[in-house]
Each structure stands twice: as structure tokens, then as C-alpha cells.
Structure 1
Amino acid sequence: MTIEQAQTDAQSPQSNFKFPFLGSPEWLKPFSASPVNSYVAAWHDALGFVASRLQEQADYAKNMAECSDPAEALKCHAEFVQNSLKRSYADGSKIFDTLRASFSSAQPGK
């Protein structure tokens, strides 16, 4: 295949297909604002959860690097695990409470 033929094939109408609904927000109209807002709130909480867990892991790695003996490292590890489980449970509950509240308020008749 020559270079000219490859360039012609690359510029064919088949390869320039565009999705008409991506340029216009009209395709979003069938969706109710309430479920979309619920998912946005849940994603906001979930991303905050991930960010805080990553920060905790970075702090944990720093603390482990500063440990001078195995007993101190074991204590640091135990504290990290205990605090991590507590915060993960609390943040997970918060995410599900946000979803539950937003969907229950979106139900007709409420």
C-alpha cells in the first residue's frame, strides 16, 4: 500500500464519522435531574473518600520510613489499619446515606 493510498483511506468519510448527540445536550433531556444529582453527589463523596485514603497511605509510608525498630513499625502499622478501617466504614456509610436520601426524596409522592 502506498503512502498516498493510505492518506486517502484515512480521509475517507467512513473514518470521519461523528456522533451527532455528543455536540448537543439534547440527549440528556430524558434523564431526570434528581437521579443525575444523586449520582453526582455520590461520586463527589466517593472521590473525596479515595483522596483521603490515598493521603492516609502516603502518611503511613512516611511514618513507616521514620520507624527506628520493628516494635515501632508494628505499632505504626496497627494504628494505620485500625484508623483506616474506622474511616473507611464512616465514609462508606456517608456515601450510602447520601444515595439513600437523594433517591428517597426523588420518589414520586414524597
Structure 2
Amino acid sequence: MQGDFRGGFFVGWRQIVMEMQEFLRSALKNVGKKLAKGVLDKHEEGYDDEEEMLLDWIWIELKEVSPDKDAVINMDLDDVYELLESSAELYDDYQLLLDSVKDKDA
């Protein structure tokens, strides 16, 4: 019986991660669009680190696209980063955005 519970727990947890990855994909896309339109300021005051700034923007967008706002509010930036790392595609998209943020001449 324990094996069934653990299996069910794993499947449930996996489903949650996969759903959050979908919301994160949307958040990354929205941040990318806002960067392209110039809505987000790459030189925003209060940030010494471009990566922290980008993760903050992603967290804000994730909060907007996720139906479970409380789950996102309870996440910190390390949680967002770990979720990005859980998918090679998401991480690659994140790295492209980070490179565009670090490009001071853009």
C-alpha cells in the first residue's frame, strides 16, 4: 500500500511541476515580448544583478498567468530558478532572455 501512495504522490507532484512549467513558459514569453517592446527597463534602479532583475520579472509574470496565485506568491526566486532548470527548453529560453538583458548596447 505504501508503494501505491508514493507512486500516487510522485505522479501528483510530477503533474504539478508540469503545470507550473507551462505557466512558466507563458511567463517567459510575456517577459520576452515586454523586453522587445521596451516596456521593461533593462537599467531599472534597485538591481545590481541582471539575473535577479530578470527572475523578478519572471516571478511577477508567473503570478499573472498562474491560476494558483498563492503558490507563486509562496515561491522565492530560487524556486523559480529551480523550476527553470527542471526543463532544458525553459532554461534555454531563460538564458536567451538573460543574454538580452545583459546586452547593455540593446
- Normalising by structure 2, what TM-score? 0.35
Greater gyration radius: 1
TM-score, normalising length: structure 1: 0.34
* Higher RCO structure, 1 or 2 (CA under 8 Å, sep 6+): 1
